[in-house]
Amino acid sequence: MASLKALKIRIGSVKSTQKITKALNMVAASKLRRAQQNATAARPYSERMTDVVASLASRITPGPQSPKLLAGTGKDDTHLIIVATSDRGLAGAFNSNIVRAARRKADDLIAQGKTVLFYIVGRKGRPVIQRLYGRSIIAQYDTSEMKNPTYADAQRIAKDIVDRYATDGIDVVHLAYANFRSTLVQEPTVEQIIPVAPRRPSDEAAEPVAAHKAAAPAAVEYEPDEEEILADLLPRNIAVQVYRALLENQAGFYGSQMTAMDNATRNAGDMINRLSIQYNRTRQAVITTELIEIISGAEAL
């Protein structure tokens, strides 16, 4: 049986932990609202940009003169997976769920005989990927100084990805991140961002208006010039998708951290109650033992 002193020390330790988890819960809750607003505001532009570029991809005939970011390299041998996680923990399974989704995608591709490489954004995804896939990590973008994601950060990541796509023999690029749904639900997502995937029939069936527009035989006109427009539009689309992923991750991280710290605070309270009951029972047993010893001694006299 634990001594009274040991129980008292443990109760004090759990109370200190409870104060920390409660403070982290309050901080995450205060930052979640702004992060959620940013993620929600970025979605319409990102989705519309995807639709526009996907519509262009469905209208081109792949060839040597086609932009690689739009039509691809003509091969499907080497895949790059961008694993975007946070730099901090104490957020439940938030980071591990993103890594798990990336691993499932990588394992599927490897089973098909493809070569898989990884580009790490954030620190929490690297240890597992490095342990399982060794030298497949080609680069890591440091986000430790990134308090709030900006479009400039996304542009730098996108430029690095586009440069590596052009020089490192990469055929397809996927982006793994957590799609924020609510404080309790962050959906791990793996999307192909290079080359742009044309609209699928199922997507058109789900959106009758978009399907009608996609089915129209109208040609696409470029002003001032097709090459100039696509040279600006395609890298910008990559940056927009990366920016959205960073914003979704930030909202998902704070939502997951708020939930995790709330659960931790409640668990600490339950532990304090159990330890307090054990402390009181132990104290009562000590008092009873001392009384019995006093009474026994008095009777012996």
* Strand positions, DSSP E, the chain: 78-84, 115-121, 137-141, 172-180, 186-194
Q: What is the pLDDT of residue 240?
A: 92
Q: What residue spans define the domains of the chain? A: 4-21+260-300, 30-257
CA distance to 49, 65, 235, per residue, from 60 (Å): 17, 11, 18
CATH for the stretch 30-257 = 3.40.1380.10
What integer pLDDT is reported at residue 168 of this predicted model? Answer: 84
Nearest to 174 by CA among 51, 82, 236: 82
The pLDDT assigned to 64 comes to 65
- Classify 91 as helix, strand or coil: coil
Q: pLDDT value at position 58? A: 73
Question: What class has domain 4-21+260-300?
Answer: mainly alpha
pLDDT, one tens digit per residue, over 219-232 is: 667 677 667 777 78
Q: What would the pLDDT profile of 88-114 be if each residue is shown by its tens digit?
A: 888 888 999 999 999 999 999 999 999
CA distance 11 to 17: 10
pLDDT of residue 222: 67
pLDDT score for 65 = 67
pTM over 0.85: no
Q: In the 8-state DSSP scheme, what is residue 123?
A: S
| Total Cβ atoms within 10 A of residue 72 | 19
**Within the chain, which residues score under 50 in pLDDT?**
202, 204-206, 208-218
Quick one: pLDDT at residue 231? Answer: 77
What is the predicted pLDDT for the residue at 15?
92
